[in-house]
Structure 1
Amino acid sequence: MAPNWEFTPYTKSYHRERYHGIDPKNPANSAEGKVVVITGGGTGIGKAIAQAFIEGGASAIAILGRRQNILEETKRELEAIPNSSAKILTFAADISDATALNEAFARVKEICGPVDVAVANAAIMHPGTLATVDVDEWWKDFEVNLKGTLLTYRAFAANRASKTEEQTPVFINVNTAASHIALSPGMSSYGLSKFGSFHLVSWLAAEDKEIRAVSFHPGMLLTNEQAKAGAKAMGISADDINLPSGFAVWLASPRAAFTHGRMLWAHWDVDELEARKDQIIADNDLVADLKGFPAQNFGGVKQ
């Protein structure tokens, strides 16, 4: 059941923890042999996504972050996952630094082979009202959340695997409901920059025919960034972190091909989404659009 702070879900079933449909060990979600790069991979959601791809059989996981000591600690944890033979790489890199990102992705390709999946997870938030927030701090959210997503894509594009009949390289943007739900005072830099990255993925989907690009809201995880936004003070309870991690593995599977250019929530039931995929494509649902304006005029990427 949806908690009272959520909006009406897109699917009838609503999840707050992992279930069979998004279980990385579900053969339909297999990540067997995939090379995966995750920004912000040392902690929180990024770390959980790394664990999920290992559970799904990925051959190599590269985690990027700013703090090498945290990355090394996470690497040891990932290498200790039972029955895993995945190679774990770490790179200290700020996603607003194009050179560092390019070098990291190129190194992954050199060591492990072309990148199959890139997860743009790193993000920051500087709460404050527009009348009082420090403008330079406010703008940093755009440098990381928007520009950083673009730079991550470009590094991925230069080092990705080739598209085949069986598999398409996938670019996953970990986004937020704050990018498209009712405005939250004090969160303008976060909401605007994340909406920008959501719409950026729409452009990637339109321009780059060799990849699948998708955004998703991971749920309410009460990460450091959520705490800054006052989630606890609002009485918001946390979703299980295995929800978005499993959802990311499902997004990278061929089952989710219809999600190209769209924005989804990790809470939504994937079996229902798959059953509705023809309708979602025909109606051009879940894209950045102008509400009330006839969708057939423009309406985003048509598949």
Structure 2
Amino acid sequence: MSSTRLTPLPITHKQPYAAVSPDRPELSQASKTVLVTGGGSGIGSAIANSFAQAGASTIVLVGRREEVMQLAAQTLREGSAKSNPQLQVHIHTVDITDSESIAKLWGWLAENNIVVDVLVLNAGRQSVVKTVLELGSKEVFESFKVNVFGHMEFTERLYKQDRSNSSGPAVVINVSTAAAWDLKSGGPVPVYCLTKNSGTMLLQQIAQDVPREKMRIISFHPGLVRTETTKGLFPNSGPGEAPWYSCKLKYLLPVHFEDVATDAGFSLAELPGNFAVWLASSEAAFLHGRYVEASWDVEEFKSGKIKEQIENDPYLLKVGILGCHP
């Protein structure tokens, strides 16, 4: 890990803004095939919608619940009827922890000559508020199977595709979390922190071994977004209800917890959705192997001191041990 601190970002966002708009020609995903794990709801669905808006030709939604994905696919098609009428949407029920289920999906893609250009690793397993030893080895391993090994299998299969007829590198976008590095704040759910940290480190290592001209890999924290997961974790986070500090997970994310009762602590799902499209563009190529956050302003990243810091420090915005780097 770098001992350098990133120059503070004076501008942050909780809502979509022009620089990450999927309507920008520079961010076009025309002719691209995008596969989103956990794509049926929440952040995964928002990411799929943003890629559809950016002109992707094919979107493959992968998840556990077919009825949820059917609804997400219908929403995608209806929302793209005018702006992207040629969009093809496919859904596949896949168990991320089952190698045979994953192999069946990629076998279908190969049989249908579908080459994935952008892989979004959004599927994840949340943990409960218990220590590692209280949960036990079986539950810890189940979390590793989703948050680490699932990422590995999908990324490996993307890497081994025949891309001889494809232009540009394959792109892997890992939906990580601030809990992957802020282990103190994520203390109430240590297994989630542990496995998301490991999954992010895994992709960081793969990125170190693979040139960005062949496969570009970036991890990002989507921000605190209202989804089924956050609703379950933070039952008192609705507008007009008890403030978030009544929840025993109040230290999970670095936000002003009293703001959550008025929605001020949450980002709109469209922000990480649009940010993912930006990450898939050539503008974000210099972030290969790094971790970033959807709230950060991309205009500040693309030029100036921050970009210079990133390009000059191979350890900046990466998982590691602070203090050991010479």
Please confirm whether the aligned pair reaches a TM-score higher than 0.5, indicating the same fold: yes
Give the match for residue 3 of structure 2: none
Letter in 1 for 2:192: Y
Matches for 1:75-114 after TM superposition, within 5 Å: 75-81=73-79, 82-83=81-82, 84=84, 85-111=86-112, 113-114=114-115
User: Are residues 1:214 and 2:218 paired?
Assistant: yes
Deviations 1:119-140 (A, max 9, x none): 0100011212225335423332
In structure 2, how many angstroms separate the alpha carbons of the residues matched to 1:43 and 1:242?
12
Closer, same or farther in 2 for the Cα pair 1:160/1:218, shift >3 Å?
farther
Matches for 1:208-247 after TM superposition, within 5 Å: 208-209=210-211, 210-230=214-234, 232=237, 233=244, 234=250, 235=257, 236=260, 237-247=265-275
Matches for 1:277-292 after TM superposition, within 5 Å: 277-284=307-314, 285-292=316-323
Stretches of structure 1 that go unaligned for 5 or more consecutive residues are: 1-7, 298-303
Q: Could you tell me the percent identity over the aligned residues?
A: 30
Letter in 1 for 2:311: I
In structure 1, how many angstroms separate the alpha carbons of the residues matched to 2:162 and 2:63?
20
Letter in 2 for 1:242: E
**CA RMSD in angstroms, aligned pairs only:** 2.1
- 1:99 deviation in Å? 2.1
In structure 1, how many angstroms separate the alpha carbons of the residues matched to 2:209 and 2:313?
21
In structure 2, how many angstroms separate the alpha carbons of the residues matched to 1:144 and 1:167?
29
Matched pairs, number: 287
Closer, same or farther in 2 for the Cα pair 1:279/1:185, shift >3 Å?
closer
Give the match for residue 283 of structure 2: 255
Letter in 2 for 1:56: A
TM-score under structure 2 normalisation? 0.82
The answer (yes or no) to whether the contact 1:163–1:169 under 8 Å persists in 2 is no
Matches for 1:179-190 after TM superposition, within 5 Å: 179-183=180-184, 184-190=186-192
Give the match for residue 129 of structure 1: 130
The answer (yes or no) to whether the contact 1:25–1:56 under 8 Å persists in 2 is yes
Give the match for residue 301 of structure 1: none
Stretches of structure 2 that go unaligned for 5 or more consecutive residues are: 1-5, 238-243, 245-249, 251-256
In structure 1, how many angstroms separate the alpha carbons of the residues matched to 2:165 and 2:195?
30
- 1:153 deviation in Å? 0.8
Closer, same or farther in 2 for the Cα pair 1:55/1:109, shift >3 Å?
farther
- 1:101 deviation in Å? 1.8
In structure 2, how many angstroms separate the alpha carbons of the residues matched to 1:133 and 1:50?
33
The answer (yes or no) to whether the contact 2:226–2:269 under 8 Å persists in 1 is no
In structure 2, how many angstroms separate the alpha carbons of the residues matched to 1:54 and 1:9?
34
SS at match of 1:178: helix
- 1:143 deviation in Å? 1.2
- 1:149 deviation in Å? 0.9
Give the match for residue 5 of structure 1: none
The answer (yes or no) to whether the contact 2:61–2:91 under 8 Å persists in 1 is yes
Bigger relative contact order, structure 1 or 2 (CA pairs below 8 A, ≥6 apart)? 2
TM-score under structure 1 normalisation? 0.88
- Candidates 11, 14, 21, aligned match of 2:9: 11
In structure 2, how many angstroms separate the alpha carbons of the residues matched to 1:23 and 1:102?
34
- 1:179 deviation in Å? 0.5
Closer, same or farther in 2 for the Cα pair 1:9/1:212, shift >3 Å?
same
Deviations 1:148-176 (A, max 9, x none): 11111122223363597x62110111000
User: Are residues 1:141 and 2:169 paired?
Assistant: no
SS at match of 1:132: helix
- Candidates 269, 275, 278, aligned match of 2:297: 269
The answer (yes or no) to whether the contact 2:183–2:190 under 8 Å persists in 1 is no
Closer, same or farther in 2 for the Cα pair 1:160/1:128, shift >3 Å?
farther
Deviations 1:43-86 (A, max 9, x none): 11111111100100000000000111111121111111232221
- 1:100 deviation in Å? 1.8
